[in-house]
């Protein structure tokens, strides 16, 4: 009986995996729930490029741990993404304490998170960089399942 070649992660494959994202200095920043693994299609933009490159070629059952620097993870903090907003633009009952993450609407209607960095007099400093920008992170992955890329039906 011939061996069946095991599918490896590549462009377009549908991957189901568990993951843990840890800051290099220790705290867990994010993780999949034990009974809710993450499923995505490789190359669809769900993962940061550094993690995509780290899992490329893995097979079902593989586990991997990879440390990513800011360049390959969530980028570096951009000073142009720090904004100073008048306090009166925030609802009176909205907590604007440093460290609070608030969802803001852009002029185009998109929702973006902003982290309150400082509240001084009547000005609130909001950082719109990714909260993990500028940090080294460690991803641990456990590949649960891989499906072949979806193929387009022939239109003949």
Q: What is the pLDDT of residues 52-76, one digit of tens each?
A: 999 999 999 999 999 999 999 999 9
Which spans in 44-151 are helix H? 49-55
CA dihedral 88, 93, 94, 95 (to 10 degrees): 110
Which spans in the chain are helix H? 49-55
Can you give the pTM of this predicted structure?
Answer: 0.75
User: What pLDDT does residue 152 have?
Assistant: 52
Average pLDDT, the chain: 90
pLDDT at 111 over 80: yes
Q: Tell me how crowded residue 21 is: count the other CB atoms within 10 A of its CB.
A: 20
Please, what are the domains in the chain? 14-75+132-147 (3.10.50.40), 79-127 (2.40.10.330)
Determine if residue 111 is left, alpha or beta; phi over 0 gives left, psi from -120 to 50 gives alpha, anything else beta.
Answer: beta
Q: How confident is the model at residue 156 (pLDDT cuts 50, 70, 90)?
A: very low
């Amino acid at each position: 009986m011939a061996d069946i070649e095991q599918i490896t992660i590549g462009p377009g494959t549908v991957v189901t995996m568990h993951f843990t994202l840890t800051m290099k200095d220790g705290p867990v920043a994010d993780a999949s729930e034990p009974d809710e693994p993450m499923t995505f299609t490789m190359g669809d933009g769900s993962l940061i490029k550094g993690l995509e490159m780290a899992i490329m070629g893995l097979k079902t059952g593989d586990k991997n741990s990879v440390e990513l620097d800011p360049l390959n993870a969530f980028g570096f903090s951009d000073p142009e993404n720090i904004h100073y907003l008048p306090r009166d633009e925030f609802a009176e009952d909205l907590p604007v304490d440093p460290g609070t993450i608030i969802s803001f609407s852009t002029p185009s209607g998109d929702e973006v998170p902003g982290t309150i960095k400082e509240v001084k007099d009547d000005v609130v400093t909001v950082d719109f960089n990714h909260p993990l920008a500028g940090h080294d992170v460690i991803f641990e992955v456990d590949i649960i399942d891989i499906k072949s890329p979806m193929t387009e039906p022939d239109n003949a």
